[in-house]
């Protein structure tokens, strides 16, 4: 069975990669761009939907301000991109906002950023994949009603691809991202030409009347109207998610890392701005209608929309209108949009494991998250992210409108604290810098980060005001829980380190002191080869006392064991422990503890014979009593458990494979202690 499992793993994940080959997994800019930018680019697919959906509450007239809402989002986007360009140059280690906040604002601020980003990465996967599954249902009607199952399957596939390594997954994702960009560019060009020439048609949904919800009959007036505009802005601000992933993924870039990451950020800002403004502009020009509930909000000639009407996403409606005379391009745009939404989650699959590794290094998460797997990827982080995203998709049934309300809270928390930390960073650097040229550069960077802090802080307040009641409280609660859990993990690690540290000379001397006496106890189930080997090993250690014990679970078996012991002529008495309740563990524990009562400085070594088997099902048939006993002995102070292996014939093939490897396997590929942790 282990051979089968390993073979399946090699087929799915690939052959192990040596630790010294880590440099070969670094990404050039042409691959890094699609890997780290797919999330931000994919927001073009759902940010316009969310803006129009919010504005539709106030009726058709409110759609007139949708381009201005998009422009406000673009201003924030470009500000954040410019701010992060300063961050990646100053902190290229990959900690991003977490490292910036920790070093400049303190551990509490850093941990707040860390918890916010971890939650946001999970939501990124859930929202992107759920939205992608809805686009897939647009092209394939048979997929309708199965969006959640499709989304869960896609998350599992993305996790598998990322387990194969960042570079390999990046190559697979690069082509769809570039095709999506080309398709969006073609739609922008065709739509722009048609608009300028007056030949741009109207969307199918443009014929529908939009009914305002109660309280908004007068449109966007008063406090309620202003609040609705703010809600539309915060929903559209989902376009900013993914920008921080580049700051967290700087270590994955080829050298010069900071420069390449900064250039990728600049390209991301330019492309995202172009796409977002294009989609909103064309949606406004073609009269696209997009609402939460078409059955109640849309009317056709004063009557409800026809039964069976399926509302397509905004990009789908725009593409259908622009390419009305050339349907294949409509399918290209729709399919590539669905693909980019599915692949957008890959940004989180690159950011979450790296951030988790850094938090684990600092003791806030289990240390297993800091180690790399066979393919030099942070495998444990990838698996945890996939599991958490699948749970969210299942709970919310892949409904983007519900999931989007949980979104962007965490990312704006990290934006705000990260930019404030950068301002403090530049203030500290300016106090020690004497070069006029460098001081000028630092002041310019400080101004950029200061403006970024002010703007993102305002947006964060707006997000908290507008989204908390709509479901963002769940995100805030998750952040608080994760913050408390990480604090608890760090406290545990600190206490363990304090407990294990040799702090004083007295503790060092006490630790170096030899035990007064060593009592060796050999467990005997039968008089056979494993027992004789355990007895020989115990005698070779020359203990102060040596005893052999057996437990009389069955009187007849105990009598046979004693007779065989005497017949073998073993120069050591066999002690038979009575067990009226047919237990093995309790009598052995009581006997071992009795040996230590007379002298706490005595050491008891219990030798347990064990079978080494070659098949998983054999393990179920052997060693069960030994496992239970070892589990109890581990919690007994002053007792050492020594496992004495006896290799059965079935284990010989496994031993041969471990010694010489599989056919065609190189010696350096052989597993060894810590091989997985070292990435081998």
Task: Flag residues of the chain having pLDDT under 70.
Answer: 1-25, 94-95, 138-139, 165-173, 217, 219, 221, 373-376, 401, 404-405, 502-503, 507, 510-514, 598, 622-623, 652-680
Q: What are the tokens at 270?
A: 């330019």
Question: How far apart are the C-alpha atoms of 313 and 321, rounded to whole Å?
Answer: 13
Class of domain 23-494: mainly alpha
Stated as kind and residue range, the H or E segment containing 537 is helix 529-540
pLDDT of residue 674: 39
Domain positions in the chain? 23-494, 514-666
Question: How far apart are the C-alpha atoms of 521 and 548, rounded to whole Å?
Answer: 6
Question: How far apart are the C-alpha atoms of 243 and 240, rounded to whole Å?
Answer: 6
Residue carrying the six token digits 């969310």: 50
Task: Give 99's contacts (C-beta < 8 A, 6+ positions apart).
Answer: 91, 93, 110, 358
Residue 3, helix vs strand vs coil: helix
pTM above 0.75, yes or no: no
pLDDT of residue 670: 44
- Whether the CB-CB separation of 52 and 276 falls below 8 Å is answered with no
Q: Residues 366-407: pLDDT tens digits? A: 988 887 766 567 788 889 999 999 998 888 887 776 776 677
Question: How far apart are the C-alpha atoms of 121 and 261, rounded to whole Å?
Answer: 19
State the SS3 of 229-241. HHHHHHHHHHHHC
pLDDT of residue 354: 83
What CATH number was assigned to the domain covering residues 514-666? 3.40.50
Cα 599 to chain centroid distance, Å, stands at 51
């Amino acid at each position: 069975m282990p051979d089968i499992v390993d073979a399946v793993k090699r087929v799915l994940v690939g052959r192990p990669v040596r630790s010294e080959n880590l440099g070969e997994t670094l990404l050039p800019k042409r691959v890094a761009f699609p890997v780290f930018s797919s999330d931000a680019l994919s927001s073009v697919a759902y940010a316009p939907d969310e803006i129009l959906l919010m504005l539709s509450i106030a009726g058709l007239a409110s759609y007139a301000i949708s381009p201005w809402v998009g422009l406000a989002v673009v201003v924030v986007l470009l500000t954040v991109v410019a701010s992060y360009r300063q961050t990646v140059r100053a902190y290229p280690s990959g900690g991003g906002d977490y490292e910036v906040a920790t070093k400049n604002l303190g551990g509490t601020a850093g941990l707040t950023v860390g918890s916010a980003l971890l939650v946001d990465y999970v939501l990124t996967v859930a929202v992107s994949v759920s939205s992608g599954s809805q686009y897939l249902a647009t092209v394939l009607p048979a997929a309708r009603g199965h969006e959640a199952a499709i989304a869960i399957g896609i998350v599992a596939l993305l996790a598998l691809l990322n387990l194969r390594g960042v570079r390999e997954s990046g190559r697979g994702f690069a082509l769809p991202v570039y095709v999506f960009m080309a398709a969006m560019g073609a739609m922008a060009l065709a739509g722009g030409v048609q608009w300028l020439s007056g030949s741009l048609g109207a969307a199918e949904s443009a014929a529908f009347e939009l009914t305002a919800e109660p309280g908004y009959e007068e449109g966007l007036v008063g406090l309620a109207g202003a609040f609705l505009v703010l809600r539309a802005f915060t929903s559209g601000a989902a376009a900013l998610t993914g920008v921080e992933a580049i700051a967290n993924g700087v270590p994955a870039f080829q050298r010069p890392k900071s420069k390449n990451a900064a250039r990728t950020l600049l390209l991301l800002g330019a492309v995202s701005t172009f796409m977002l403004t294009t989609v909103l502009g064309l949606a406004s020009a073609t009269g696209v209608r997009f609402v939460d509930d078409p059955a109640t909000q849309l009317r056709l000639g004063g009557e409800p929309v026809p039964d069976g009407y399926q509302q397509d996403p905004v990009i789908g409606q725009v593409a259908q209108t622009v390419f009305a005379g050339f349907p294949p391009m409509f399918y290209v745009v729709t399919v590539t949009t669905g693909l980019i939404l599915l692949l957008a989650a890959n940004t989180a699959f690159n950011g979450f494991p790296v951030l988790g590794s850094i938090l684990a290094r600092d003791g806030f998460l289990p240390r297993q998250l800091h180690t790399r797997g066979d393919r030099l990827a942070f495998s444990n982080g990838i698996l945890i992210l996939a599991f958490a995203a699948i749970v969210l998709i299942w709970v919310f049934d892949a409904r983007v409108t519900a999931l989007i309300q949980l979104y962007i809270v965490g990312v704006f928390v990290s934006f705000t604290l990260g930019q404030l930390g950068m301002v403090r960073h530049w203030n500290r650097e300016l106090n020690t810098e004497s070069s006029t040229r460098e001081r000028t550069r630092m002041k310019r960077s400080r101004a950029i980060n200061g403006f970024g802090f002010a703007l993102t802080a305002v947006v964060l307040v707006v997000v908290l005001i507008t989204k908390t009641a709509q479901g963002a409280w769940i995100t805030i609660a998750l952040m608080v829980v994760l913050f408390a859990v990480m604090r608890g993990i760090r406290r545990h690690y600190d206490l363990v380190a304090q407990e294990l540290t040799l702090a004083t000379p007295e503790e060092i001397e006490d630790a170096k002191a030899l035990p007064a006496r060593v009592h060796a106890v050999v467990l005997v189930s039968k008089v056979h080869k494993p027992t004789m080997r355990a007895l020989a090993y115990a005698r070779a250690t020359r203990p102060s006392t040596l005893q052999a014990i057996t437990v009389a679970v069955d009187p007849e078996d105990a009598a046979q064991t004693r007779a065989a012991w005497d017949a073998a002529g073993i120069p050591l008495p066999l002690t038979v422990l009575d067990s009226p309740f047919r237990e093995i563990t309790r009598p052995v524990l009581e006997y071992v503890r009795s040996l230590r009562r007379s002298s706490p400085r005595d050491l008891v070594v219990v030798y347990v014979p064990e079978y080494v088997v070659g098949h998983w099902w054999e393990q179920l048939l052997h060693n069960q009593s030994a496992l239970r006993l070892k589990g109890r002995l581990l919690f007994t102070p002053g007792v050492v458990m020594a496992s004495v292996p006896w290799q059965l014939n079935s284990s010989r093939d496994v031993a041969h494979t471990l010694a010489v490897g599989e056919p065609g396997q190189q010696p350096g590929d052989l597993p060894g202690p810590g091989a997985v942790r070292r990435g081998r």
